[in-house]
Structure 1
Amino acid sequence: MRLPKITSLYGRIFAIFWFTMFLVTLAVLALPHLDPRKTRDISPPYYERLTEVRDQIEREFSAANSIGQVLAAFDSRPPRDSNDGRLKVFITDIDSNILTVYRRPDFSLKALRNFVTTIETPLAPQQRLYGRVMISGPFPIQLANDDYYLYIGAKWNQPPNFVIQLFDHPFRLLLAVMLVSTPFLLWLSWALSQPARRLELAAQRVAQGIFETDPELEKGTSEFRQAGASFNQMVEAINLMICRQQRLLSDISHELRSPLTRLRMAQALATRKQGESTELVRIDTEAQRLEQMIGKLLELSSMQVDSHLKRESQPLSSLWEALLADSQFEAEQMGKTLYVSDIPERSLTCHPQLLMSALENIVRNAIYYGKDRIEVNFDVNTEDKSDVLTIRVEDNGGGVPDEELESIFRPFYRVSTARDRHSGGTGLGLAITESAVRQHNGTINASRSSLGGLLVEVSLPLLKS
């Protein structure tokens, strides 16, 4: 009969639990029977050898007139067995009184007395281990025309010492049970952790912007198969939604740029016929701003979709050293000073263009709105098991009201006091920066600077050095 395959997680746990309990119960019930120090029946082959020894003794001392003569012979010349070598032979009377007295200190009669008292019926010979000697008996025997009982002690070389030590030391027995059960528990933990680990890695890929299905998630127990199938369906739904969003933005861009192009052509024709005027200049300015806004929207959308496809390991200096040098030159042209700390000699996995653009947006904002001083500081902090790069960009400009600090990273958001439409921006620069930082598993926060203006702090995970 073929057993059904267990596919349920709880079914596997239940089956392994009861299988382990069965093994432990079997060991508990079987181990006492393996202990030779427990009184037990004599195996038939060994019983036959011992009866042969008894018969040999009867024949050898058949002519003895007194039991004392027999006991003296035992003390001076113990019998031998072809299999077990030298034996120790003990005689008791019908009332179980020990008659044999060995003058050698290699065996204690206390063990024999203990064994004799444990025998319930003389008609069923048994055996028990005492130290290194196995005592067997009683065997009915006739000596000097009287009835006695014979007990035989033989040197015992089995079982191995470590088995007896297990019985003598409960802690060692517990340790042995743990060693036996550990492989089953390790296999159980591995079987449970593998599907969970695959699901964790798939979730990390999605968090990094990699929206790919994984067929391996739909293997294993029924619970993990269902969770994996649902996860893959979610990834497919996200991919479909992103594709539709991209198509919508592409269509909107195309539809907006066509009339925008015609509008600028009409404005150019009007300027040629009527000459320059305030109204025509305003139309051209707004048309340029609208075209710039459409380009930024497409850049933001593209960044959110395919940035994970162009990841590579880059030293921090190659990312931002040239950018900050250009920014210092630009600040000098505006009569301002840009201070830059040393860039750490570390690397990170990134989309280079995105992170360059992100820092450029922050630094250019600080240069534009700062009065005359801008600072860019790099610092590496060790948190838990990962290293984190912290970038602080601050200026001494007018700053941002506290109630608007959390809103400046929203698309198209403009601070009422400083970032109005006269600045020429689209309101998308910091939104693009926030998206780039988030896609690199980083964080970005804005607060008031000690210089009096705005402080933007960016944290990014680094590769382990």
Structure 2
Amino acid sequence: MNLPKFSSLYGRIFAIFWLTMLLVLITVLAASQLDPRQLHDVPANSLKDLQNQAQTITSNYQNSSSIRASIKQIERSNVDSGRLNYYFNDTEGHWLNPPSGMRARALNNFITQSDKSNFPQQRLYGRLMIAGPLPVVIAQHELNMYFAIRWHQPPPFLLQLLDRPLQLLLAVMLASTPLLLWLAWALSKPAMRLEKAAQKVARGIIELDPELEKGPSEFKQAGASFNQMVMAINNKISEQQRLLSNISHELRSPLTRLRMANALAIRKQGDSAELARIDMEAERLELMINELLELSRQQIDSHQIQQNLSVAELWAETIEDGKFEAEQQKKSLICSAIPKAVMTGNPNLLISAVENVIRNAIRYCEHSVWVDFKQVTVKQQSSLIITIEDDGPGVDKEELEAIFRPFYRVSTARERHSGGAGLGLAITHSVITQHNGQITALRSQHGGLAVQITLPLDL
């Protein structure tokens, strides 16, 4: 079995699990080392004080005549001064001033663990701290002296945790939280990148994303597979668009010959309704082929030219041209102020898309066209909304979504005698989608059609 690598997701989860367990183990070991209920060496400062007291007792009572009287005198001086309690036993382990109750049990237990006068130690029993032994000489007898004092210090924090399992569990959870947050971040970041890439593909933006091939090895493999899928889709789309373009090009040659033959027939036989109808249908077919070529060219080359563009400069000339064209047809175009914002895209395609919608509105309106530019910001994302409305016959409500499909012809008078190929709005829809935008058709408040275009702006 191969050991997990840290670069893999499996390896990271495994490492964080064992690191958390190691933190718990270190906490337990550290708590045991700090636990005063275990036998420990007496701290240096305290040991020095105890040794000084032992030397004082030896110097004061080593030549006394009675051990019992000397110990009682030591006990009385201890009561008067409120200092430590002293307990003495001989070399055979007999207590000369035997304690009682809990102290007796604590001292008897302590001397079984610490009976070497060269190595004084201490241990906590409840609230009683016992230390010793230290050698003393009283009445020419060598004795061991032990110290007992009430312990008023709070227990160490780690000791409190060990005594309270719920608090210990909470402390472990808090200690492991940074590691778990890092693991969650390591999991979620590549997953969110993959999700965003999938959403872009769902919106029709089919492009490679090198960032997908970063992170844990499992996500690298998933990202590489996703990019391979995107490449395959792009290749299929490009093949389809090239096929469409080639077919359109091939259709132009016989179409040209057909129009030439029709012109010769008119010259020889004179004008007739049949020949005029042939010429009109050939002209419509040529227009359709030209629009097909334009659509395929835009879909293939849309990502080749990307620039930072000023919104005001981008469509200012388009609005002026629209006003001029409307005046020539005894109509009017009313436009709001264009916001001073910046966006990224292909200028030729964006100009063509908006111009196409404006010219359609001018063609089908009765008197006026309204163009409104508005900048909105939602959740730190700034967008430009362009609304183009007219007061023409409009489009039936059930056909509003279908008008952006290629070759779709609406059933109302808006398209009945226009001679259009049904590709204009399909081309506009393609351009807007390629720029991460949206385009929708609505009923205008002026009675005609309203086309709303939403495009992302640069921050």
Query: Is TM-score (shorter-chain normalized) higher than 0.5?
Result: yes
Question: Matched residues in 2 for 1:210 and 1:217: separation?
Answer: 14
Instruction: Name the Cα RMSD after superposition.
Output: 4.2
C-alpha deviation, 1:297, in angstroms: 1.1
Which blocks of at least 5 consecutive residues in structure 2 are unaligned?
78-82, 89-94, 115-120
- Partner amino acid, structure 2, of 1:423: S
After superposing the two structures, state which structure 1 stretch, 332-341 or 113-122, moved more: 113-122
Aligned residues: 432
Q: Choose which of 236, 239, 250 in structure 2 pairs with 1:241.
A: 236
Question: Matched residues in 1 for 2:16 and 2:4: separation?
Answer: 18
Give runs of aligned pairs for residues 324-339 of structure 1, distance below 5 A. Answer: 324-339=319-334
Q: Could you tell me which residue of structure 2 aligns to residue 12 of structure 1?
A: 12
- Partner amino acid, structure 1, of 2:19: T
1:403 aligns with 2:398: yes
Question: Matched residues in 1 for 2:154 and 2:167: separation?
Answer: 9
Q: Could you tell me which residue of structure 2 aligns to residue 33 of structure 1?
A: 32
1:426 aligns with 2:424: no
After superposing the two structures, state which structure 1 stretch, 205-214 or 334-343, moved more: 205-214
- Residues 247-304 of structure 1: CA deviation (Å, up to 9, x unaligned): 2112202221111121122223333333443333332222222122112112112222
Q: Could you tell me which residue of structure 2 aligns to residue 388 of structure 1?
A: 383
C-alpha deviation, 1:320, in angstroms: 1.3
- Partner amino acid, structure 2, of 1:9: L
After superposing the two structures, state which structure 1 stretch, 255-264 or 382-391, moved more: 382-391
Question: Matched residues in 1 for 2:155 and 2:239: separation?
Answer: 71
**Residue identity (%):** 49
Which blocks of at least 5 consecutive residues in structure 1 are unaligned?
77-87, 100-112, 155-160
Alpha carbons of structure 1 residues 341 and 51: separation in structure 2 relative to 1, 3 Å: closer
Alpha carbons of structure 1 residues 444 and 213: separation in structure 2 relative to 1, 3 Å: closer
Question: Matched residues in 2 for 1:229 and 1:365: separation?
Answer: 44
1:415 aligns with 2:414: no
Q: Choose which of 298, 303, 308 in structure 2 pairs with 1:303.
A: 298
Alpha carbons of structure 1 residues 264 and 114: separation in structure 2 relative to 1, 3 Å: farther
C-alpha deviation, 1:236, in angstroms: 2.2
C-alpha deviation, 1:370, in angstroms: 1.3
Question: Matched residues in 2 for 1:324 and 1:51: separation?
Answer: 99
1:259 aligns with 2:254: yes
Question: Matched residues in 2 for 1:420 and 1:9: separation?
Answer: 58
Give runs of aligned pairs for residues 282-293 of structure 1, distance below 5 A. Answer: 282-293=277-288
After superposing the two structures, state which structure 1 stretch, 414-423 or 204-213, moved more: 204-213
Give runs of aligned pairs for residues 125-140 of structure 1, distance below 5 A. Answer: 125=114, 126-128=121-123, 136-139=131-134
The SS at the match of 2:406 is: coil
Give runs of aligned pairs for residues 40-189 of structure 1, distance below 5 A. Answer: 40-42=39-41, 60=59, 61-66=61-66, 90-93=85-88, 94=95, 118-119=106-107, 120-125=109-114, 126-128=121-123, 136-139=131-134, 141-144=136-139, 149-151=144-146, 164=156, 180-189=175-184
- Partner amino acid, structure 2, of 1:33: S
Q: Could you tell me which residue of structure 1 aligns to residue 455 of structure 2?
A: 460
Q: Choose which of 207, 214, 228 in structure 2 pairs with 1:211.
A: 207
The SS at the match of 1:292 is: helix
Q: TM-score, normalised by structure 2?
A: 0.78
The SS at the match of 2:62 is: coil
- Partner amino acid, structure 2, of 1:347: V
Q: Choose which of 360, 364, 369 in structure 2 pairs with 1:374.
A: 369
